[in-house]
Amino acid sequence: MTERPEEGRSGRIGELAALFGRLGTTAFGGPAVHISMMHDEVVTRRAWMDDQRYLDLIGVTNLIPGPNSTEMAMHVGQERAGWRGLVTAGGAFILPATLIVLVLAWAYVEYGDTPSGEALLYGIKPVVVVIVAQALLKLGRSAVRGPMTAAVALAAAAAYVLGASELAILGVGAIAILALRRMGTPLLGVLPLGGLAVQAAADSASLERIFFVFLKAGAFLYGSGYVLLAFLQNDLVDRYSILTQQQLLDAVAVGQFTPGPLSTTATFIGYVLAGVPGALVASIGIFLPSFVFVGAVTPLARRIRDREWSAALLDGVNAAALGLMAGVTLQLSGDAVVDFVTGSLAAVAALVLWRTRVNTAWVVLGGAAAGLVGGLLDMAPV
């Protein structure tokens, strides 16, 4: 019997929900690992598309803002079943991680200040800083393509440390590389180091403010989920003073040892700031732009893949994003590595990540265990 179109589409929706729901529950290790797992499932096992088309979609994902692995899930969904597939695949990949992070955020708010909670975070923080630094080094190999992009990355890091707006840094970086490639001139002073001044602090975390902070981050998030740290550091910690740097680092730690997209860090922070409503609006804000962007550009993937101007813009944005990551990593390390023990944990984590291919989630859990053991020893009677 011939399959009717409605039945085929319904079946594809079910396949997408099952596949990306499972990946959203089990995909540890960050965007590169997620995308590799998706390739195995979509290209190798199911033959929904060939290698070339999958590479085309990765290229498009790098050209638009948003969390890369989440957007790849959306791209695959749209290729497979149109806009319904986009929504299904993206939602199925995001939802499990969001629910897991929500539970952990509740536990953090309830127990994070207890001795055991503090001990866990004490061990996790230095490990997280090392993981971010490792991602920075890996991304640097792709982002720094010569003297021009290296200079943009260094200038971006300096501009961020001096208080420049992260959006201005990304925008100027993109325009600088595009202009310099058009002119063929050396790079001299492409980024303003002064930048925009940090705005006055606010004293409340309204749902509207939470939503728009994460909407902005989702709409301009280039390079890696780790660049999200720069946005949140600038807006929530420095500008509005509604989140502490320690809470930001704790949120990243939770994002590291949970599956799915790192951007579910937004769920954690939203809950810390305003409970379940805050978690809901933060999660919607961070992921909503990706649904819009993917829906708009997937049909254009083959047209923009080899355009010279889009490649130049992407190189500039990636170099500037690398600089942002470097700046925020320096700031976070000051709160994470505070004594000999945390310094030793950071060194061990760096050695493990350098010498092995262990999943980063295990490294974070190892740091948590070390912190917990240390806390229990401190509480033990002498």
- DSSP string of 24-65, one letter each residue: HHH--S-HHHHHHHHHIIIIIIS-SS-HHHHHHHHHHHHHSS
Mean pLDDT of the chain: 80
> Could you give the CA distance from residue 291 to residue 75 in angstroms, rounded to a whole number?
9
- pLDDT per position as a tens digit, 115-141: 666 777 788 788 878 877 876 777 677
By residue range, what is the domain housing residue 339?
5-379
Distances (CA, A) of 161 to 4, 197, 252: 59, 11, 20
Asked if 45 and 17 touch (Cβ cutoff 8 Å), the reply is: no
- Token pair recorded at residue 226: 């780790």
- pLDDT per position as a tens digit, 177-204: 888 877 764 443 433 333 433 333 334 5
- Mean pLDDT, residues 87-113 taken together: 91
- pLDDT per position as a tens digit, 63-92: 788 888 899 999 999 999 999 999 999 999
> Could you give the CA distance from residue 282 to residue 266 in angstroms, rounded to a whole number?
6
- Mean pLDDT, residues 95-113 taken together: 88
pLDDT of 269 reads 95
- pLDDT per position as a tens digit, 150-177: 888 888 888 888 878 777 887 888 888 8
pLDDT of 341 reads 87
Given a cut of 60, whether residue 375 has pLDDT beyond it is: yes
- pLDDT per position as a tens digit, 301-344: 656 556 777 777 767 877 887 787 788 778 778 878 888 888 99
223 vs 96: which has the higher pLDDT: 96
pTM score above 0.75: no
How many domains is the chain partitioned into structurally? Answer: 1
Helical pair 5-26 and 31-39, crossing angle rounded to 10 deg: 140
208 vs 125: which has the higher pLDDT: 208
> Could you give the CA distance from residue 198 to residue 129 in angstroms, rounded to a whole number?
24
Q: Give the position of tokens 């058009």.
A: 182
